[in-house]
Amino acid sequence: MKTIKGPGLFLAQFAGDEAPFNSWGAITKWAADCGYEGVQVPVWDSRLVDLDKLAESQGYCDDWAGEARDNGVVVTDLSTHILGQLVAVHPAYDAWVDGFAAPEVQGKPQARTEWAVEQVKKALTASRNLGIGQHVTFSGGLCWPFIYPFPQRPQGLVEQGFDELARRWRPILDHAEECGVDVCYEIHPMEDLHDGITFEMFLERLDGHPRCNMLYDPSHYVLQCLDYLDNLDIYAERIKMFHVKDAEFNPTGRQGVYGGYQPWVNRAGRFRSPGDGHVDFGAIFSKMAANDFDGWAVVEWECALKHPEDGAREGAQFVRDHIIRVTPHAFDDFAGGDVDAATNRKLLGIDR
C-alpha cells in the first residue's frame, strides 16, 4: 500500500487580478500559508505561467518550479481543462466557449481545434520538462446536446461522435506516450466523458491506449447519483489523479438531477467545500490506500455558499486529517511464524 500525497490545491478558482492571487510568487506563498504542500496549475492563466516557455525552455521550468519550492509548495500537475474542452466543441457551444481560445482563432472552429490540440501537446511537453508524470484535462464534447434520448437519436449518431472524439485525441495521447505522461480526463458533465460507460466507449476506440486515464472527482458522481465508491474499484488501474471536492444532492418534489435551470445556490445538486456535503471521504481515502493510489489529493474549491479563502484553508486541514499513513506491516504479524514447508504440510494433513 502507498500513502497519498497532499494536501494540494488547484489554483484555477483562485487566480485573479488582486494580490496575492495575481502573480506566481504571491499565490504560491499564499497557498503554503494556507497549509498546502503542492499546487495544480491552470496553464492558460498567463498571470501564473507562460506555457510556451514551459514547453521550450528547461531553464524557465527549473526557475519557475524552483520559485514555488522556495515559497513552500511543489507543482503537483498542470491543467488544460478549458483547452481540452476546445479539442471537441459542438456548434451549439461555439460562441459560449470561444473566449477560451486565443483571439486569432476565435470564430474559426477548425483553426480553434487545431490550436487547442497544440496547446495540450505543449502542456504535455512541459509536464515532461518538469518531471511530472500526469496531466489533467477535459475531453470536450460532440455528443453532449444529445445526452437525453428524445427526440430519438439517428442511428449511429453517438458512435460516430465517439469515433471522431477518439480520432482527435489519439495524436495527443501518442505525444503523451512520447513524453511519459498520463492524460487524466476529469469525468465531468458537458464532456462526452461524463461517466464510466462513456470513458469505456472512448477507451475502446483508442485500443486501450495506456496514456488514457482518469481524474477522480466524487462530486460529479454525487450529482449524477452514480456509485462513487464502486467507481474507485472498477477503474482503480486508470485513476491517476484525485480532486477533493464535495457535493450534496437534495431532491424535492419540484426538482432533481436536472436542476430546473436554477442558479447553483438553488439547485437540488450543488457543489460544497470539503466536509460540507454528502461525499464519504473517509471511505474514499480508505479505498485509495487499499488500491495503492500514490498521487496527490488536490482540493478543488467550488462551493455555492462558502467564501473561497475559508474553503481553501479548511480544505488543507480536511485533506491532512483524511490522508492515511499506510501501515508497513500487517497488524497481526506479531503472531506469525517463519515459513516452514514441513510444518505447513503437517498442519494440512498432507503425507499422513
pLDDT tens-digit map of 58-78? 999 999 999 999 999 999 999
Whole-angstrom Cα distance, residue 352 to residue 341? 15
**pLDDT at position 288, please?**
97
**pLDDT at position 173, please?**
98
**pLDDT at position 334, please?**
64
Residue 116 and residue 84 in contact, taking contact as beta carbons nearer than 8 Å? yes
**pLDDT at position 337, please?**
66
For the chain, residues with pLDDT lower than 50 are none
**pLDDT at position 1, please?**
81
Neighbours of 54 (CB within 10 A): 23
**pLDDT at position 109, please?**
97
pTM of the model: 0.94
Nearby residues of 195 by Cβ (< 8 Å), 6 or more positions away: 187, 221, 224, 226
**pLDDT at position 342, please?**
84
In this structure, whether the domain defined by 5-348 belongs to CATH 3.40.50.300 is answered with: no
